[in-house]
Structure 1
Amino acid sequence: MGFPDDRDRRIIRVAEETENFATDLAHWVNEHNENRIQQDLLPVPTSDEFELTRLRRLASNLFSSAKVPVAAAVYGPSQVGKSLFVGRVLIASSDDYSPLGRDEQSGPPAYYQHLSFDTDLNPQSGSNEATALVTRFTTKDRIAANVSAEYPVMVRALTRAQWLRVVARGFSGECQTAERNWTQDQMEDLFDEVSTRYSYTEVDRRWRIDLIDAYAYMRVCDRRGFQSKESVLNGLLNRYPLTEDGYIAIAANMFWDNWSDLTTLFIRINNFLESIHSEDHDPAILTHWAGVRFLLDSQRAKVHDRRNSRCFKRVDWEDFRLVEREGWHVLEYDEGRGGGNLDLETIQASMLEMVMPCLPHRLNEDWRKCIEMIDILDVPGMRAGRQGAEQGKRQSAELPEEQMEIVKRGKVAYLFERYTEEMLIQTLLLLARGGNLEVTAQMKYHIDKWGRARYGDDIWPTKVRDKLPALFLGVTGIDEEFRNRDEYADAMLYNARLAQVADALAEVMTDFGGAGKSFNNVYPLRYPGTWDADREAQEKEGADKWKKAGEAFLKSSMVQTYVSDAETKWERAMTDGDGGLSLISQAWREVTTAHKKQEQLENAIKEVRSRLMQLAKSWVVNADSNIDREQRRTCAERVIDWLKSNPQAIYDRVQVMEQTLGFEDGDQYVLSDFADIPARTSVGRPEPMERRFPKRLQEYLHEWATITTLERWEENTKANPQGGPWLGTEDFGQLTRYMRDALCAGETFDDIQGQLMKVVNLKLRDEAAKRRARRKYVSIMMNDYVMNPGPSGEKIEEAEEADPEDFGLMSNFVTRWVSRLPEFLASGAGVEVRVPAGNAELAVIIEKYSSS
């Protein structure tokens, strides 16, 4: 079935509703929060506004993702024929009309009747390396309606968080790294040093999230080099507010050893990304068709000549300008104008994905059906290690070429991982060419990463039962192995070729679907008329060579092991105008399903919607205090009933509750180090700490209840299925909101902040000892407040002791929660209810999206 099916339509509808929910909440905040601030009555905290912005952008991304189909990707080392494969796919069914464009009724620059991918768009500069840009071929109806029809090619840009990942990953793979492994002490020393030069009074939340995101990514890539947990970095970022230059200094030291040339590069690209930022859409530029070749060319030639082109015989980079049109930044082309001074390196480094629209009815029948169902991706290839005089890690990056190599390595690694993790690649064609397997370690790593994401850790590769798997292996460079030699090809040639691949992919080739079961979804692929000889060339050079090669192919023991239906595949590969690609297109249509992507989208949309609902409910007040108090008791009883419902799972449940509600090392820094954090001030002296600390504690508990714990709950429950069934996110979010209210209510809050102030104000001559003591005791106290819950250990009401026979060592915990939790949560309702501005309007929004 084509895209969209009924399930796709349902997902698109729910995704649109979720985006509308986020938009309505944003409008409500803009309209009513100022009044709440003036009244000092339940104002929306800055942390919540930031979280709403993040969720709104995420909802928009999910809506965009829901409107595009799953994709099949062409992948492999450099120079294996990926672009030639794409060029074959995009051959027009008629010489009179190009398949590239959104509307063939439009004239230039939107549509060129004779535009050719091979001739006009694909660079021919002799590059031996991959262009670090994903190219997506899709249909016009999958491109946003607000994209200018005049400039139909969209080039999506990196975000700052992605740019940090790219530079960090590229430096790790390409350059000599420092001996530091980022222990907590090393991190603390770095922040101490940077804060002396770049101290500020307020934490930049966007920088904090971007740095944590990049650090978490690098911990996955290199856990030895990044030993501290993310919570430690988060704590230090909260503890040390910095200027923009300060955050850049932290990133430079942590991710690229403070190489000044790379820092300059990072700033330049970051400034460009900021210059094309838009609130209306993700960062991207639109480009004239003539600009495509420059953006794809890894050699960055400034002039392209193509005598056989019917559209662009000569294109000069100086004829391009970056201008703003209708909310988009457009790479505009004015032939012969000259004088342009755009930095091609900057634009290339900033780009993530190029989206080219296709007209399916202008392709041959096989590929028309294929692209109507799925998108096709050309993913940058794996890169070999540095060879010859450059062998070994780089010691510097002074030259632009060196900097771009670092960026290229980082982008190639990051892009494949990102597209794999986000389930954007459902089907994968891996191309392999003889003598180009020096990237075997990367090949195995990336194929396994994709396989685990596609099939699951427990299934890939030994338990895959698909008759036709989603992994395809294409063997290219067929003719080059015998075409210019006097001897005929023999079976040993193909034995050696496939043995190389089998060695590289190991159990994927030898134990696919079970021990001793061979992977056999292998295809010989040829490109007659380019790399390989067409029928006319074969006749001129001696057709016997190709006949003998076919016989040798079929006799090869490795072919018999790994290539199913080898005779048909060879016959198709030898056919002009086909080359074996028709079999690929037919198989792609059969195997590329959207089930996993749909499931992932449904879960992600549900999660975002739940987070939005939790935020909204934390801003609304129930005007009836008696009903409110009873709702809190009911919530507590529901949690206790769940906790006691499965005694066999009590240890797992309590442990996950502690991990989620509790505070990891680093979380407490913003409180424990409060006395050392610069105070925000505008005019005059700052407020005394005794007045500032209670406000900061309330903000801290609010963020803990509405953001931190919900993220950890989802993460921890997914990682511990043995403790299920778990409380739903909405029930757990209600628990944490009510706990926050109780902790911040009246005498309870006075007791808590008074006890904490004694530690925060601790005086010792030894600064290091003082810091350790403050952090240790604040951590102990905060964990006790939330797990007790409250500052007192006394029973609030009598309760039957939990049976140790049922709950073992957790019986005391269960008894304590039974005796304290219901009345403790109820205490957060207060006695007098004051209704803040916009309360009724917010209740209407919540009701609207609760019932939809």
Structure 2
Amino acid sequence: MNVPDPIEDASTADMSTEDLTQDCRDTRRLADDAERWLGDEANAGVVGREREDLVRYVRKAGHRADRLARAAQRPMCAGVFGPSQAGKSYLVEVLARPEGGALRARFDGHAAIDFLAEINPIGEKESTGLVTRFSAAAQPGTPPGLPVRLRVLSEADIVKVLCNTFLHDGDTTKESPPTAEEIAALLTNLKPAVRAGAARLTEAEIDDLQDYLRDQARGTRYLDALARYWDGARALAGGLDLNERARLFAPLWGGHAAFTGLYRQLAEALERLGHPEEIFAPLEALVPREGSILDVATLAGLGASASSDTLTVRAAGGSAVSLPRATVAAITAELRIEIADAPRAFLGEADLLDFPGARSRQKVDLGHFLTAQPDALKETFLRGKVAYLFDRYVAEQELTAMMLCVRPSNQEVVTLPDLVERWIALTHGATPEARAQLPNLLFLVLTWFDSHFVDKAGDAGQDASLRFRNRIEASLTGFFGKAHAWPREWTPGTPFRNAYWFRNPNYPAESVIRYEGRREVAFLPEKQGRIAELRAGFSALPEAAAHFQDPGRAFDEALRLNDGGVSYLVENLARVCRPALKAQQIASRLDALRAEMRERLARFHVALDIETRLAERREAAGQVFDALDPVVAAGSLGSLLRALLVDPAALTDVLHGTEVAPQEAHQSAALPPTAPRVVRPGSIARPGAPAARPQPVAPVLDRERTMARAALGAWIDHLNRTVEAEGFGRRFTVPLTAMEIVVGELITLARRADVEGTIAADLRTLATVERSEQSTAKLALIAATRLNRLAGGLGFNLVPPAGERPSIEEGEGVRIAFAPRPISYDARAITQAPATFAHAYATDWFHGFYRVAEDNAKSASGVTIDLEQNARIGAILSGLQPRVA
């Protein structure tokens, strides 16, 4: 594999874990500073309608920086992942054990235990519902009698698991979404229950939960009904007790009583333990393996009111707590196994993670299923937990390298390509150019290699390469490649080229190998020719050359007796299992986060020199054009801009029930409390009255202005969430920083053109012909039309336009951007060559955006600048400048 040496070329090679962790913490501090600056009333006029959205953003940015700091302090991990029953178990066991020896686990106060013989659940079925970490690194001692170390889910994790279950195992078309009135009533009823100092869930955790649900709920409109839920949830969650929190979160899983009861059961267990990250359990949690918390069958006790099968567990420094075995299994995210004997060399640098197999999801009527099926709660919770665990480990940057196991035949887990794509985007980059900066840490392991040596009826005389072409298509190009581009182009101009064959020598390949007992000793003489024929067919296959580093060697290594290809896989794995690579991944994500924060906040810092402001915004516009050039070339600019349009239906939900805001306190103070007096015409004054003088007009926040303000806020929220969504980045492959620039300029344009006032005027016009409370959908359509014209026409199609249309020199002439097309009345206007409308529009949009960026920069001239506040935001931006490696 032609990649740069990961240590020599890594920009973070010499960076210590402490330095990287400190950079993450500094970024968190800057996010806190930004939140305070945004919340300062002195900056209310500068920030405008964006304040609420920006506060949420910097709060989430701080949360992400905390995650990266924790990830920097944890060891590098190589994980084994794939669909259920794909052959992962043997691969994990053979990677973790010493060469030629058994995999034994060490527990404080006990002799080493054979993992396969005494701990690993028996059977061919999918056996685990948690992540198992195999580590050669020694950890501090465990409490006496409690040698089993377990990482547990948090309360927010439990909510996410139940939401994942509801969205992916339930048929949301058969659910009745809560109405706006029901949500309002719930939030109102919970307000009196809030207690100061009872904080359990932070606002950042609620923000994170909202983002997770938005991502998981793509393609379903059930959660649209919760548009007005989240602000209330943020305000309430931190001050409610467990039962009230259960009421608060119940709408997220459809209000199903079984899920609400399970949430109470698991959250109460965490509460009794003190909400730790790690707990300790007795060896009886694992041995005997019948009833082990590793075995998914243990979850069958979930939801029971009482159980005699309990385990005594405790957190570090906490008291012992007796919990049902099923509850301990449910709240456990990870079991840590310390390897007793010296393992393979690469495990000296990394831990090995064994993920439970990805499962196909089936849409059922949960209302019926949860009552009709005895094991329904166990099955639905298990599927949601298995799916969420992979999401969590990816989000926490735990999975540095991945061995993706894929079996032959058609793939059933339709969500697998998106899961893998998300991991690739977060660890390597979303584009071929970004992935070129790192060695390939995705190992595609094609299991059950020996199945291709079984000749079936009709195979005689068939092209020897056909079975391998079909396998590569079924397992890679036709499965992952249909959904995403990385199999065809991992780096610029080069396909993904890190595939391996693998077989399990414990499963006899008697069609080609001779055995003595269970040991492979030689290939059958009569099969030697057929093996050579198949090898030649595979090696000559263009797909093999494209996706395997050395097709001939990959074939030979998988046939190595009593090995099955594991030595070859370990050889290549050892080359990239280096802690510096994890540091490089984390540093890359940290740099991206800091760049996002800088772009979101930079608009509020005013360079006192207008030429400097213009130069900065022109440079930003250039970054946008560089990022959008491939989009234009692919004919996708219209689709990208369409994605920025706000749905009138979504605005309808926002505007529905909007109340008239109360008059500002200063308004009543400015106006005398006496009854208004009739103004006399002409110069006829009342006797003894002083000469008339104009009275200050206080701004009136009427219903229409309130609704226009709500619509503008919803539009801003929609723009930011759209470009931040992973699906948007995957679809258009545009860097988030470039889209942040686009969104920022559009928001500034909306303020400069007073779109809020224009919408309010439109709504007043409508109110003269019909009652506004009876026409919320029409109000939303009017607001959406005004707002959406900003993305497509950049304000030049407004009446009056937001600025002078730029001139475009094209060919031998000059035309005006966004000029109305001439009306053609007959066929004489049809030319021989079709008009390039898409190219002309993209040209107009680029020129228009450049003009908007300039006009936005110029509009800052003449405004009053608070030098102290400007210096504060300037210091934050200075702290967010690119780090020095």
TM, length-normalised to structure 1: 0.65
Per-residue Cα deviation, 1:421-461 (whole angstroms, up to 9, x for no partner): 979374426386xxxx8x953268747964897699999xx
From 586, 590, 595, the counterpart of 1:605 = 590
Sort the Cα spacing of 1:71 and 1:725 in 2 relative to 1 into closer, same or farther, 3 A: closer
The amino acid across from 1:526 in the alignment is: P
Secondary structure of 2:80's counterpart equals: strand
Match of residue 573 from structure 2: 588
Counterpart CA distance in 1 for 2:772 and 2:256 is: 34
The answer to whether the aligner puts 1:473 opposite 2:441 as a matched pair is no
Task: Report Cα offsets for 1:339-382 as digits up to 9, x if no partner.
Answer: x53133334333434444557xx424xx1x22134432212125
Return 5+ residue gaps in structure 1 as ranges: 102-107, 304-315, 333-339, 460-465, 479-488
- Tell me, yes or no, if the aligned pair for 1:132 and 1:408 is still in contact at 8 Å: yes
Counterpart CA distance in 2 for 1:649 and 1:291 is: 58
Corresponding position of 1:483: none
Residue by residue over 1:806-834, the C-alpha shift from the partner in whole angstroms, topping out at 9 and shown as x without a partner, is 77873576687777764555444554333
**Partners of 2:34 and 2:500 in 1: CA distance:** 55
Aligned pair partner of 1:663 in 621, 636, 646: 646
Give the counterpart of 1:833 among 857, 865, 871: 865
Specify the SS of the correspondent of 2:293. helix
Aligned residue type for 1:441: Q
8 A Cα contact 1:154 1:285, kept in partner: yes
Shift of 1:667: 5.6
Which of 127, 130, 135 is the aligned partner of 2:132? Answer: 135
- Between stretches 62-71 and 237-246, larger displacement belongs to 237-246
1:295 match: secondary structure = coil
Displacement of 1:159 in angstroms is 5.8
Q: CA deviation at 1:404?
A: 1.3
1:778 to 777, 783, 788: 783
- Between the two proteins, the alignment pairs up a number of residues equal to 739
User: CA deviation digits over 1:211-265, x for unaligned, max 9?
Assistant: 453243243xxx4xx258x8x567454799897699978976675x553223322
- Mapped to 2, the partners of 1:412 and 1:637 lie a distance apart of 47
Secondary structure of the residue aligned to 1:776 is helix
Alignment of 1:692-731 (within 5 A): 708-709=719-720, 712=723, 718=729, 728=738, 731=741
Alpha-carbon shift at residue 396 of structure 1 (Å): 2.5
Deviation at 1:285, TM superposition (A): 1.9
Give 1:624-663 correspondences, 5 Å limit.
627=608, 632-634=613-615, 655=638, 658-659=641-642, 663=646
Over 3 Å counting, the alpha-carbon distance change for 1:850 and 1:119 in structure 2 is same
Counting aligned pairs with the same residue, the percent is: 14
Q: 1:263 aligns with which of 257, 260, 263?
A: 260
Change (3 A) 1:782 1:730: closer
Residue 258 of structure 2 aligns to which amino acid in structure 1?
A: D
Q: Which amino acid aligns with 1:781?
A: R
**Aligned runs of 1:67-86 on 2, under 5 Å?**
68-69=75-76, 71-73=78-80, 75=82, 77-78=84-85, 82-83=88-89, 85-86=91-92
Amino acid paired to 1:774:
L
CA distance change for structure 1 residues 705 and 196 in 2, over 3 Å: closer, same or farther?
A: closer
SS at match of 2:128: coil
Report the 3-state secondary structure (helix = DSSP H, G, I; strand = E; otherwise coil) of the residue aligned with 1:130. coil
Q: 1:700 to 1:81 in 2, by over 3 A?
A: same
Written as runs of structure 1 = structure 2, the 5 A alignment for 1:39-118 is: 45-66=51-72, 68-69=75-76, 71-73=78-80, 75=82, 77-78=84-85, 82-83=88-89, 85-91=91-97, 109=108, 114-118=112-116
1:379 is aligned, of 344, 355, 361, to 355
Amino acid at match of 1:777: I
The equivalent residue for 2:279 is 286
The offset of 1:592, in angstroms, is 6.7
CA distance in 2, matches of 1:774, 1:196: 25
Distance (Å, rounded) in 2 between the aligned partners of 1:155 and 1:800: 63
Amino acid at match of 2:115: F
Q: Deviations over 1:648-668 (max 9, x none)?
A: 988979758855765344564
Letter in 1 for 2:283: A
Q: Find the residue that maps to 1:77 and give its secondary structure.
A: coil
Q: Does 1:342 align with 2:312?
A: no
Counterpart among 363, 380, 386 of residue 412 in structure 1: 386
Match of 1:296 in 2: 294
Cα drift, residue 320 of structure 1? 1.4
- Contact 2:65–2:590 (8 Å) recurs in 1: yes
Q: What does residue 818 of structure 2 align with?
A: 810
Aligned match of 1:313: none
Q: 1:424 aligns with which of 399, 403, 413?
A: 399
Letter in 2 for 1:522: W
Aligned partners of 1:523, 1:394: CA distance in 2, in Å? 43
For 2:509 and 2:421, the matched residues in 1 are separated by 31
* Correspondence for 2:680: none
Contact 1:647 1:807 in 2 (8 A): no
Q: Cα offset for 1:30? A: 8.1
Question: For the structure 1 residues 376 and 739, does the alpha-carbon distance in structure 2 shift closer, same or farther, using more than 3 Å as the test?
Answer: same
* Separation of aligned partners in 1, 2:252 and 2:649: 17
Q: Where do 1:159-198 residues align within 5 Å?
A: 163=158, 166-170=161-165, 177=171, 179-180=173-174, 190-198=179-187
User: Residue 149 and residue 791 in structure 1: after superposition, are their counterparts in 2 closer, same or farther (change >3 A)?
Assistant: farther
Could you tell me how far apart the structure 2 residues matched to 1:133 and 1:19 are? Answer: 29
Tell me which of 365, 370, 381 is aligned to 2:346: 370
Name the CA distance, whole Å, in 1 between partners of 2:87 and 2:851. 70
